[in-house]
Amino acid sequence: MKLDKDQIRQLRRMKEKHPMPEQAPEERIKNYNEVPFGYDAETAIKEANRCLQCKDAKCVEGCPVEVDIPAFIKLVAEGKFDEGIKKLKEKNSLPAVCGRVCPQESQCEALCLRGKKAEPVAIGRLERFLADYELAKGVETPPKPASTGKRVAIVGAGPAGLTAAGDLAKMGHEVVLFEAFHATGGVLRYGIPEFRLPKEKVLQREVDYIASLGVEIKTNVVIGKTLTVDELFEEEGFQAVFIGTGAGLPQFLNIPGENLNGVFSANEFLTRANLMKAYLFPEYDTPIKLGKKVAVVGAGNVAMDSARTSLRLGAEEVHIVYRRSDKEMPARAEEIEHAKEEGVVFNLLTNPVRIIGDENGWVTGMECIKMELGEPDDSGRARPIPIEGSEFVFDVDTIVIAIGQNPNPLIPQTTSGLKIGRWGTIEADEEGATSRPGVFAGGDIVTGAATVILAMGAGKVAARAMDKYLKAL
């Protein structure tokens, strides 16, 4: 497709992003298929032409893995998709994932110049377009670099570990990736649902790409149990270790009734649904228990995913219960939008105080109290204060607790010489180096629960530092 000058001028003035076609809400809540379909080539070229190709491109500063955004967008605008995906992959080994789940509105697109007066360029959608274009065509394996003879162990196959592994392999190191679960991907596999990130079509193929770079993947190995970090050095002959074990420990509310039947942590709920494919029970052996009226406590991505999964599993009524107001909701804008379209009811400024059960121990309700916002707290968000006497009982039979995760203590407990932070995180400097020489860490295990792209950024930075460390050995 060739655009003339007029068309380009027009596109450069176009205020809105090109919309991405998607499944209608009433249809999609009946299936597990991906919601947005992605751009076709024509729309991608048009959207790419909305980019002004800024000299001092601010958008790049918003990308933790340093994607050369104007350069890849220019290639899309020119219809040079093969070169575009190469450019993108120079920095980002998981573009099909990022194009789908990055919170672009607070990353690259937040700094886009066009965003000042109109909608920013749809950087994420263009990224997804190129990645899907390549997946459809068949992914090329880059040539293997000469081996450095150095051995590196990566712990955890989430976005941080996968990125570090891919980058270190590209530098010629021998990389072995250890994963506790039977499958790779971390949260991308067990947390984020199929309808947002297809597992076989997208995630598995990006993991296969990382493996094709020469990374050996060993699943079913729990570091701290099957092998310890100390043993990786002393017995398995690794010269450096990267820890990217994420924040997998579910938080509970610590209110009465939380162990009643029908109360799940979001981790359990989503792991059953996604990793174990409980939505396909009994074709798959793992079941999931769901009533008719579901309350999900929390308003982050995890909560939205739990709520939208509940709908697809057949719940008649799904509520989000959140103690602050809509302005403070931490989920991606698109997820909140999608959840609303699908009929999830938002109960804001509401906090659970007690879960009520029947004589057999099944949930029958949740007592909540209304909240109002006070002065900002440590996190800078308005502190919610209970309104006395405003208690009421919510009539629900399933409750999903999605109020956050802490780092799993397994590695901190079993590794010598690691400095641990106040919330159980591993302390690391800007380059990912921990207090123990040769041990690097990044992603949620260092920052606490954050985002895919920040975890990838940390993996990338640490890979560079590890390369330096290994060369100096």
Query: Site residues for another protein, window 241-270 (CB under 8 A)?
Result: 248-250, 252, 258-259, 261-262, 264-265, 267-268
In terms of CB distance, is 100 or 173 closer to ligand SF4?
100
Long-range contacts: 199-202, Cβ < 8 Å, 24+? 199/274, 201/135, 202/96, 202/97, 202/100, 202/132, 202/135
Is 262:399 a contact under the CB 8 Å cutoff?
yes
Shortest separation between residue 57's beta carbon and ligand SF4, angstroms: 4
Query: Site residues for another protein, window 294-353 (CB under 8 A)?
Result: none
Residue type (1 letter), 219 = T
Q: Of these partners, ligand SF4, ligand FAD, another protein, none, which one is at the site of residue 295 (CB under 5 to 8 Å by kind)? A: none
Query: Site residues for ligand FAD, window 87-106 (CB under 6 A)?
Result: 101-103
Site for ligand FAD (CB under 6 A): which residue of 85, 169, 187, 371? Answer: 187
Residue 299: which of 318, 319, 322, 327 has the closest Cα?
Answer: 322
Q: Of these partners, ligand FAD, ligand SF4, another protein, none, which one is at the site of residue 54 (CB under 5 to 8 Å by kind)? A: ligand SF4
Query: Site residues for another protein, window 121-180 (CB under 8 A)?
Result: 180
Binding marks (x or -) toward ligand SF4, 137..166, rule CB under 6 A?
------------------------------
In terms of CB distance, is 149 or 237 closer to another protein?
237
Q: Using CB under 8 A, which of the segments 78-86, 281-289, 336-344, 370-378 binds another protein?
A: 281-289
Query: Site residues for ligand FAD, window 364-423 (CB under 6 A)?
Result: 408, 410-411
Query: Site residues for ligand SF4, window 93-122 (CB under 6 A)?
Result: 98, 102, 104, 107-108, 112-114, 121
Q: Using CB under 8 A, which of the segments 36-44, 61-69, 282-290, 320-328 binds another protein?
A: 282-290
User: 403 vs 194, 259, 298, 321, 448, CA distance in Å?
Assistant: 22, 16, 5, 10, 13
* Cβ neighbours for 293, distance < 8 A, ≥ 6 positions apart: 315, 316, 317, 318, 319, 395, 396, 397, 398
In terms of CB distance, is 252 or 392 closer to ligand FAD?
252
Is 370:349 a contact under the CB 8 Å cutoff?
yes
Q: Is 57 in the site for ligand SF4 (CB under 6 A)?
A: yes
Q: Is 460 in the site for ligand SF4 (CB under 6 A)?
A: no
Site for ligand SF4 (CB under 6 A): which residue of 70, 166, 438, 443? Answer: 70
In terms of CB distance, is 106 or 390 closer to ligand FAD?
106
Query: Site residues for ligand FAD, window 289-348 (CB under 6 A)?
Result: 301-302, 305, 332
Q: Of these partners, ligand SF4, ligand FAD, another protein, none, which one is at the site of residue 276 (CB under 5 to 8 Å by kind)? A: another protein
Shortest separation between residue 1's beta carbon and ligand FAD, angstroms: 31
In terms of CB distance, is 222 or 255 closer to ligand FAD?
222
Q: Using CB under 6 A, which of the segments 61-69, 125-133, 179-187, 315-323 binds ligand FAD?
A: 179-187
Q: Is 154 in the site for ligand FAD (CB under 6 A)?
A: no
Q: Of these partners, ligand SF4, ligand FAD, another protein, none, which one is at the site of residue 282 (CB under 5 to 8 Å by kind)? A: another protein
Site for ligand FAD (CB under 6 A): which residue of 36, 70, 161, 384? Answer: 161
Q: Is 457 in the site for ligand FAD (CB under 6 A)?
A: no
Site for ligand FAD (CB under 6 A): which residue of 109, 174, 179, 194? Answer: 179
Q: Is 166 in the site for ligand FAD (CB under 6 A)?
A: no
Site for ligand SF4 (CB under 6 A): which residue of 44, 180, 187, 453? Answer: 453
Three-state helix/strand/coil letters over the chain: CCCCHHHHHHHHHCCCCCCCCECCHHHHCCCCCCCECCCCHHHHHHHHCCCCCCCCCHHHHHCCCCCCHHHHHHHHHCCCHHHHHHHHHHHCCCHHHHHHHCCHHHCHHHHCHHHHCCCCCCHHHHHHHHHHHHHHHCCCCCCCCCCCCCEEEEECCCHHHHHHHHHHHHCCCEEEEECCCCCCCCHHHHCCCCCCCCHHHHHHHHHHHHHHCCCEEECCCCECCCECHHHHHHCCCCCEEEECCCCCEECCCCCCCCCCECEEEHHHHHHHHHHCCHHHCCCCCCCCCCCCEEEEECCCHHHHHHHHHHHHCCCCEEEEECCCCHHHCCCCHHHHHHHHHCCCEEECCEEEEEEEECCCCEEEEEEEEEEEEEEECCCCCEEEEECCCCCEEECCCEEEECCCEECCCHHHHHCCCCCECCCCCECCCCCCECCCCCEEECCHHHHCCCCHHHHHHHHHHHHHHHHHHHHHC
- How far apart CA 24 and CA 28 sit, in angstroms, is 6
Binding site for ligand SF4 (CB under 6 A): 51-54, 57-59, 63, 65, 67, 69-70, 92, 98, 102, 104, 107-108, 112-114, 121, 123-124, 127, 453
Binding site for another protein (CB under 8 A): 180-182, 219-222, 225-227, 248-250, 252, 258-259, 261-262, 264-265, 267-268, 271-272, 276-277, 281-287, 289, 360-361, 408-410
